[in-house]
Structure 1
Amino acid sequence: AAAAPAPPAPAHGKPGAASLEEILAGGRAALARGDAFMAQSMANRGLELDPVSSEAYRLLGDSYAARGEKTLAEANWKQSLRLNEQNEATLVSLGEFYVAEKSWTPALDHLKRAAALNPANGQRLVLLARGARGAGDLETARRVYAAAAEVLPTDVSLLTELGAVLVASRDLDAAVAPLMKAAGLAPDNPRVRANLAAVLRAKGQAREAEREYREALRADAKHVPALCGLGALLLGEGKLQEAGDLFAAAVAADPRQLDAVLGLARARRLSRDLAGAAAALEGLRDLPDAAVLNEAGAVAYEQGHYEDARVLFESAASRDASLPEPKANAAKAKAAAEFLKAVGATPPGI
């Protein structure tokens, strides 16, 4: 009988020797169990078999990174990309390396390329954007969020965050587009509609803002930001009754929400319900908040309690010297109190 044919030799090396893929898999396993030196040795063995292996250089870069040798890790990852510009894993490794180094521009470049190869890497761009935003680098955050939105165009949370960064960058015009897109994707999301409304209101588009606030409340009648936002808009238009009702609903939903309580107090004060305004503020009088103290002073002043008003206004001014109103109000209340004392009059309402 004829002899059986010999098995084919591996693509690299001697018959029976491990293949490049097997060597690199062994290196990955070593790295996974924390043996970076063994992983490095396996990567070098792989390069002996194939000196232009992008994956071998990636493993070598990962091994150096595990040992804390950043310069050598970066150099080997770059060599991996020179040999294969579409090595997704290497792009991710370099991108995350630059994120850790807070080198936002190269991090964005590599992660954007990785996301182009695999949209799942778009979430890495989101993390980069959040990192830049957290570091106070709004310009980089804006660029990265925009890049992430290109990869993940239907991610409502991402579009909302992009809008928030644009607002923080004082670019209200640019903020409208992603927020409108988010509202289109999630029309029943009250947070999305209220965010869009707030930007429209800041741009002076009152009717459009009112429509969005009402859509938010249609989705959730107890959504506090929408209640406060619409209440403030209507308060500015002199629609005191509806504004007061909205603020009252907001206070019922969250009794410690400052904007809600202040709005309710102002609506009642402007409606001449001074007792109701004072009652709204009663639980917050001890808070070290300048706006609360100033509003409490305004209520006391209109009740004719000028000395109490002066004390409250001065306390507000000491809490926040950047606010001009408390200081001017304190002077006004002091003058009124001194006038009453001089003429021996009884303050109104007493």
Structure 2
Amino acid sequence: MKRIRHVLLGILSMSLLTGCWDQMLFKNVRLILGVGIDKAEGENVLVTFVLPDVSDKKRNAPEIISVSGETAREARSNLGKKLNLVPDGAKNRFLMIGEQLAKNDIYTVLDVFYRDPRSALNAKIGVVEDRAESLLQTGYMRKPNFILNLDKQILSAETFTILPEENIQSICTVLFDPGQDVILPYLAAGDGTPLIKGVALFNSKSLTGTLDTRESKLCLLLADRMGKKAILTLPIPNQPKKIGSKMTFRVFHTKRKLDVDVNKGKVVVTIDLLLKAEAEEFSPDHLDETGQVSKLNEFFSKELTQEAQKVVQKLQKANCDVFGIGRRIIAFHPEAWKTMDWNSTYPLITIQPNVKVEISRPGIIY
């Protein structure tokens, strides 16, 4: 009798379960793996979709379809007219925005991703030199797998501190922050594969400039955003220009200090950056000689400080506050902030970067 009571209780409990009321089966949808958005004629946008191969030929190559619409959402609806299944962006892996569109206001095409509860907000986002459609179509024609793995290419560059770790979700709050700006991956159609050119600089929601890969690496270090590793190559002092006249070292630890001083409306910013490094390639050898490491540290510190000053100049020219200086002023000098027009003030403030290199690991040989 007791066993029957337990069985009846279990059956009653199962009848109260709701089940998977919101399930969506793969057999009923066509997944979108990548998206590129460009400015089209007039006020329309051209959206390029990367879709997996579902044919019986098993080509393992994506299908690339470009559709225009007055909005990004309308373009996806128009895509549905070309497919025999409902397009679904829940597994989207990257979003590429054309340069011309990015110069206007990228949020105009991002809004749909934030409003759709099924959006893949962890998808990588970047800006494409010229048009996103060209990047996706060119990569597809030459090497299809590289387009399918474009997000992995970006992840690899993040590991080496070439690109910032960003996605659709992470940039949302910064886009609306008056005291900080975003930087995004900047790509182009390369010879057979997408080419990472550096980072795109933004002022608020608009593209205003770019940095190359060397400059982006130093910019990220100054912003205290080092990836898992950072590798730098610099000329060796008093060496003729030839193969073997440069040293490559790996940064394994950083310490960044940012001071913002506001006095009578004048803003002075000091960025002190310490790079602890390990020698990875140094053909002249003899790092154990007295004073050799000290001379290299002094020379490399001076070289990187000069490069950092040029990076800061480009950031100010692009009006891109990637260091969040305005956010510091809002937090610690609110009264001064109220009197500032930050877009006009930021390009004119004094920002002094100081880079110090310490080669503390010579490698397994001296």
TM range (shorter): under 0.3
**Structure with the higher strand share, 1 or 2:** 2
Higher-RCO chain (CA-CA 8 Å, sequence separation at least 6): 2
Larger Rg: 1
TM-score, normalised via structure 2 length: 0.26
Q: Larger helix proportion, structure 1 or 2? A: 1
